[in-house]
Amino acid sequence: MKIGSVVPEKLLLRRMTSTNPAFDAPIFETTIQRMVEAKGVGLHSGVPVSIRILPAPAGTGIIFTRTDLDRFEIPASWQYVQRVSYATSLMRQGVLISTTEHLLSVFYSMGIDNAYIEIDNLEVPILDGSGAPFVSLIRQAGSKTLRKRRRYLRIRKPVQVEGAGKCIRIEPADHFALSCHVYFPHPHVGRQSLEMRVTPDAYARDIAPARTFGFEQELQQMRDMGLIRGATLDSAVCFAPDGVRNPDGLRFPDEPCRHKALDLIGDLALIGRPLLGHVIAERAGHAMHVALVAKIMSDASLYDIVEAPQPAAEAETAVPVLAARALA
Ligand SMILES: [Zn+2]
């Protein structure tokens, strides 16, 4: 090819993906190796709940199964987002799964594409308020590579949702990255920011241990709304006007910002595919996160579905992979 000649977009993409110097994300779909389980209470409902996480075949995604309701299934998809305020809930045909964001954040960040989550009540257990217990569970379960190549959702154009001094935006990128900025007028919080490329190791170390948090002066109002019935100092950080109520203090000086990143990833997971894009969130919450997801998914000109390339050893003889929306 002559220098300066026009390269058709598809050809360019084919060359990029078949030799693949830029693509360093996982190539094959995954599930877990063996069943794992946990018990706890729901943060908001306070009800006792058990979950079992089981392997699932390629192409399944993450599916919740209500074992107390005839094994009714609710896929972890933006299409089933129901009520979003202090937590993200999914609903299908009147059946609810509440507070999905921590568990889904862990699956998404740890690169588990397919699993069944059996659950015997309406809310995912809060455990210690962070993603760390779910990371331990998934590590205990082990990861299994499946024979289907991953299909990524790659952002093509910037997309933004804003309002009331809050904003969330996604920009094109060849990997999944976050910038997260929060502000809470409290002497132990204030303004906090983080930027990261989301990889399983970085997530497990820097994000997963960050716990749910609340401010003491707001707790009664939340209880009056029927929320946080399961909250204790073992499942959340409580900021009092003069400090932190939890006897062991914070896990990170900027634990609130890290937890907001955890929640954000859990809501982005409702896209249902791994993401290639850079998300910038400024004081955004669940409602704004899912509004961004809905905006992306309702306009096919904003993204491509890109199949991961052949592994290098196979690429020489195999037909190169094209990105095509038809794959979705
Ligand atoms: Zn949370």
Q: How far is the CA of 201 from the centre of ligand 1 (A)?
A: 20
Q: How far is the CA of 234 from the centre of ligand 1 (A)?
A: 14
For 24-46, what is the mean pLDDT?
94
Q: Note the helical H segments in 185-277.
A: 200-206, 216-224, 255-268
Closest by CA position to 203, among listed 133, 106, 285: 106
For 96-107, what is the mean pLDDT?
96
Of the listed ranges 11-25, 125-139, 191-205, 293-307, the least confidently predicted one is 11-25
pLDDT at position 138: 97
Per-residue model confidence as pLDDT tens digits over 40-97: 999 989 999 999 999 999 999 999 999 999 999 999 999 999 966 788 999 999 999 9
- Distances 153 to 43, 47, 195, 271, 273 between C-alpha atoms, Å: 32, 36, 21, 8, 6
By three-state DSSP, how is residue 150 classified? coil
Model confidence band, residue 4 (pLDDT cutoffs 50, 70, 90): very low
Q: Is residue 106 part of a domain?
A: yes
261 or 22, greater pLDDT: 261
Q: Is residue 295 part of a domain?
A: yes
Q: How far apart are CA 240 and CA 255, in angstroms?
A: 15
Q: Is residue 22 part of a domain?
A: yes
Q: How far is the CA of 211 from the centre of ligand 1 (A)?
A: 7
Per-chain mean pLDDT for the chain: 89
Q: How far is the CA of 172 from the centre of ligand 1 (A)?
A: 26
Per-residue model confidence as pLDDT tens digits over 220-278: 999 898 889 888 999 999 999 989 999 999 999 999 999 999 999 999 999 999 999 99
Respond yes or no: is residue 278 known to be catalytic: no
Structural domain of residue 34, as residue ranges?
A: 9-327
Q: Is residue 65 part of a domain?
A: yes
Q: How far is the CA of 101 from the centre of ligand 1 (A)?
A: 7
Residue 317 predicted with pLDDT over 60: no
Q: Is residue 1 part of a domain?
A: no
**Region at 45 (left for phi over 0; alpha for psi -120 to 50; beta for the rest):** alpha
- 116-150 burial, b for 16+ CB within 10 Å, e for fewer? bbbbbbbbbbbbebbbbbbbbbbeebebeebebbb
Q: How far apart are CA 239 and CA 54, in angstroms?
A: 37
Q: Is residue 44 part of a domain?
A: yes
Parallel, antiparallel or unpaired: strands 176-184 and 275-282 = parallel
- What is the percentage of the chain residues whose pLDDT exceeds 90? 78
8 Å CB contact between 174 and 96: no
Residue 5 predicted with pLDDT over 90: no
Model confidence band, residue 324 (pLDDT cutoffs 50, 70, 90): very low
Residue tagged active-site, from 188, 259, 286, 289: 286
pLDDT at position 313: 62
Q: Position of tokens 């058709």?
A: 8
pLDDT at position 314: 55
Model confidence band, residue 311 (pLDDT cutoffs 50, 70, 90): confident
Q: How far is the CA of 133 from the centre of ligand 1 (A)?
A: 14
Supply the CATH number for residue 228's domain.
3.30.230.20
Q: How far is the CA of 74 from the centre of ligand 1 (A)?
A: 20
- Residue 301 sits at the vertex; the CA angle it makes with 295 and 303, to the nearest 5 degrees, is 75
Residue 8 predicted with pLDDT over 60: no
Q: How far is the CA of 53 from the centre of ligand 1 (A)?
A: 20
Q: How far is the CA of 300 from the centre of ligand 1 (A)?
A: 29
pLDDT at position 25: 84
pLDDT at position 21: 52
4 or 196, greater pLDDT: 196
pLDDT at position 23: 75
By three-state DSSP, how is residue 219 classified? helix
Q: How far apart are CA 60 and CA 287, in angstroms?
A: 26
By three-state DSSP, how is residue 327 classified? helix
pLDDT at position 211: 98
Number of independent structural domains in the chain: 1
Q: How far is the CA of 109 from the centre of ligand 1 (A)?
A: 15
Q: Note the helical H segments in 48-141.
A: 101-109, 132-141
pLDDT at position 20: 53
Q: Is residue 4 part of a domain?
A: no
Residue 322 predicted with pLDDT over 70: no
